[in-house]
Amino acid sequence: MAATRLIVALDTQDMTQARQWATQLDGHVDAIKLGMEFTYAQGLDAIRQIADGRTLFLDLKLHDIPNTVAKGLTSLAPLQPAMLTIHASGGREMIRAAREAVDAAYPADRRPLILAVTVLTSMDAAALHDIGIDRTPQEQVVRLGQLAIEAGADGLVCSAQEIAPLRNALGRRPVLVVPGIRPAGSASDDQKRIMTPAQAARAGADWIVVGRPITRSPDPTAAASAIQAELADA
Ligand SMILES: O=c1ccn([C@@H]2O[C@H](COP(=O)(O)O)[C@@H](O)[C@H]2O)c(=O)[nH]1
């Protein structure tokens, strides 16, 4: 099985902080993730500056009518992300429109992976029930995952708890990117469906996403190195 790689989520509104984390974590993580918090505070040009040759996961979780998602993804092409996100719950037509837009707007040799977010890792069964979904998170993730891959997504964002059922349903091919990762003993914060880095690696995650356990550490480099060691030993 291929090694599980580490993405750090640089969740901050502050340019100096993002630059400092990105620089100090060079060589200790495999990719950086920038999302809504940084993008809404600093804008797209700041993403270009922080990315600066690094492998960029642009996690803006687009969810809108098909035309708007397609045009939004087209607007992001100059940033040359390696991965970007849309919500699987946007439905088949929206995902197909995303596929067509990425194929048209990005050069074939630098086409980002389209990752469909299934069920946010901050949601449990009660949170799904609140929004009218009376399935377990696992059932809903597999249902949305099948839909998204059929409609043209390259991969999925899921929790580590759903890797095995997704692999059973979809095989090895979809890229599985897994947030909700907490090293043993660290606070779960707002995450509900969590696993440790080693558990996620053993379950077959292609990438794990780790934010606060690294960025809130007094020594982010040591925290990232410890996670890499855990992945290597898994
Ligand atoms: O289902 C999802 C989708 C995306 N995320 C993002 O991952 C990181 C996780 O950060 P932590 O600090 O390690 O909790 C964050 O940027 C989320 O937006 C997710 O957690 N769950």
Say what the pLDDT of residue 1 is.
Answer: 66
Q: What is the Cα–Cα distance from 197 to 220, expressed in whole angstroms?
A: 16
Q: Which domain holds residue 175?
A: 5-233
Q: What is the ipTM of this complex?
A: 0.99
pTM of the model: 0.98
Residue positions annotated with a catalytic role: 59, 61, 64
Question: How far from chain centre, in Å, is Cα 203?
Answer: 17
Ramachandran category for residue 180: left, alpha or beta (phi over 0 → left; psi -120 to 50 → alpha): left
Q: What is the Cα–Cα distance from 48 to 46, expressed in whole angstroms?
A: 5
Specify the CATH number for the domain of residue 172.
3.20.20.70
Say what the pLDDT of residue 2 is.
Answer: 79
The total of structural domains in the chain comes to: 1
Indicate if ligand 1 lies below 6 Å from the C-beta of 141.
no
| CA of 157 relative to ligand 1 center, distance in Å | 10
At 130, list the tokens: 């609140």
* Residue ranges in the chain modelled with pLDDT below 70: 1
| CA of 179 relative to ligand 1 center, distance in Å | 5
Indicate if ligand 1 lies below 6 Å from the C-beta of 220.
no
Look-up of token digits 């890229």: 175
Say what the pLDDT of residue 134 is.
Answer: 98
- Cα–Cα nearest to 116, from 152, 148, 69: 148
